[in-house]
Amino acid sequence: MTDVTCDLAVIGSGPGGYVAAIRASQLGLKTVIIERDALGGVCLNWGCIPTKALLRTAEVYTNMKHAEAFGLKAEGIGFDLDAVVKRSRGVSAQMEKGVGFLMKKNKVDVIKGAARLEKAVNGSGAPVVKVKTDKGEDTVRARHVILATGARARTVPAAGLEADGKFIWTAKEAMVPDVMPKKLLVIGSGAIGIEFASFYNALGAETTVVEMVDRILPAEDEEISKFAEKQFKKQGMRILTGATVDKLDKGAETVTATVKLKNGKTETVEADRVVLAIGITGNTENLGLEALGVKIDRGHVVVNEWLETGVKGLYAIGDLVGAPWLAHKASHEGIICVEKIAGKNDVHPMDVTLIPGCTYSNPQIASVGLTEAKAKEKGLKVKVGRFPFVGNGKAVALGEPEGMVKTVFDEKTGELLGAHMIGAEVTELIQGFGLARSMEGTEEDLMHAIFPHPTLSEMMHESVLDAYGRVMHV
């Protein structure tokens, strides 16, 4: 048992927690990070990073199957599922070690164990952190405490929508499959659901996606959603929108889903495996939050614009505090929180419209800012530009002519309100529009910028030009 005193204690070492710890150290705060599992949290170990490794495999495999289109010959094409998973796990392990190195480099002490908060003895300071470790219980007394405990997959046990580790998977089980399913059912078509549907479909699984609203990827611009659905169907996916899974019945070897369709009829869908992607809920349990009076709303901790919980010295960031559930959002919140704690005067609260969102399926989807519909809901008159991938020389040369770039501008001010993209490498391209949004760029700034040729980025320029009747290549 040890008693530690520090300036800041961070509970959770995902992209929110470890980035907050690094920034705190840079600002001269003595910092401790507490983690019950592997450093890097869900993102590095069971989320962002390993899924991208899997999707890269699917991308390479798809290209191999179309080798003739590039003048190449490839015979006996196949895959080793165990090797695919092993590569993904190896990438995660490498990144986890990297976080450990960063903690040492920045002199952040790491305590491995499960944390629980207790009121300070005199009631005037931040909560005391009790950490259950392999050797007993440590006590951490910090002037400030940041909760960065993340979230987990949401389940609905009453309908049988609960992972069993074998037939019914959450994202975690879907990353380490015991077998390659012949038939896969994915419930939910947000980024997580679509990425797994894309991966397994590419490797040959007969894939069905069920989405309760009237279109897939409901957070995206409607045009992008419709384009994506068309592409996924061309790849062989079956997509049921406006549908709900009322229950799952497990048999000896398969799962039977009872699906209520948009027309009110019911049908059954049989699958070897089911992936649950129906949302996430914050890891708020067993932290002592209720006793401290921390407000929790629908599974997430409630905070203000500075990530304060309302309890003195206690803050929360990342997936724990709600949507959008993105690693880069968590990291930025960590920096905002720490810089506010350190007393910096140039800190700005989070503007969620500046956060890019990415889905790493095939095709990729990326966006930032307002959709066309959201902008109109705000009463804004808009100018909209579009440019197709087929009009771009680099896209055609890559063999990736399917896609589009869409931009939305305020007609009155020329402000870039939003950008929405689907196609090859758009998850890399989107940050150009992200910078434009952050720097309050207008259509004039973007039209006068010079984009290199031949690149995919030229489509961004053309989309802006199209919004103002100046498009060149269509």
Q: Residue 147: what are its φ and ψ, rounded to 5°?
A: -90, 125
Name the residues annotated as catalytic.
Answer: 453
- Give 439's pLDDT tier (boundaries 50, 70, 90): very high
Cis peptide before 454 (omega within 30 of 0): yes
pLDDT at 205 over 80: yes
pLDDT at 122 over 80: no
pLDDT at 158 over 70: no
Residue 1's pLDDT is what? 67
Whole-number Å distance between alpha carbons of 388 and 85: 35
AA letter at 323: A
Q: Residue 114: what are its φ and ψ, rounded to 5°?
A: -95, 130
List the structure tokens of 42. 């869900």
Residue 155's pLDDT is what? 80
Q: Residue 116: what are its φ and ψ, rounded to 5°?
A: -145, 140
Q: Would you say the C-alpha torsion 9, 357, 44, 288 has a positive or negative sign? A: positive
Give the pTM.
0.94
pLDDT at 123 over 80: no
Residue 329's pLDDT is what? 97
- For the segment 440-447, the average pLDDT, to the nearest whole number, is 95
Instruction: List, in order, residues 6 or more apart from 11 with CB less than 8 Å away.
Output: 17, 34, 115, 129, 145, 146, 147, 148, 149, 287
Residue 3's pLDDT is what? 87
Identify the three-state secondary structure at position 461.
Answer: helix
Q: Angle at which helices 191-202 and 222-234 pack, to 10 degrees? A: 20
pLDDT at 424 over 80: yes
How does pLDDT run across 290-304, given as a tens digit for each residue?
A: 999 999 999 999 999
Whole-number Å distance between alpha carbons of 147 and 438: 27
Domains, the chain: 3-152+281-352 (3.50.50.60), 155-278 (3.50.50.60), 363-467 (3.30.390.30)
- For the segment 102-119, the average pLDDT, to the nearest whole number, is 96
- Give 165's pLDDT tier (boundaries 50, 70, 90): confident
How does pLDDT run across 16-72, given as a tens digit for each residue?
A: 999 999 999 999 999 999 999 999 999 999 999 999 999 999 999 999 999 999 999
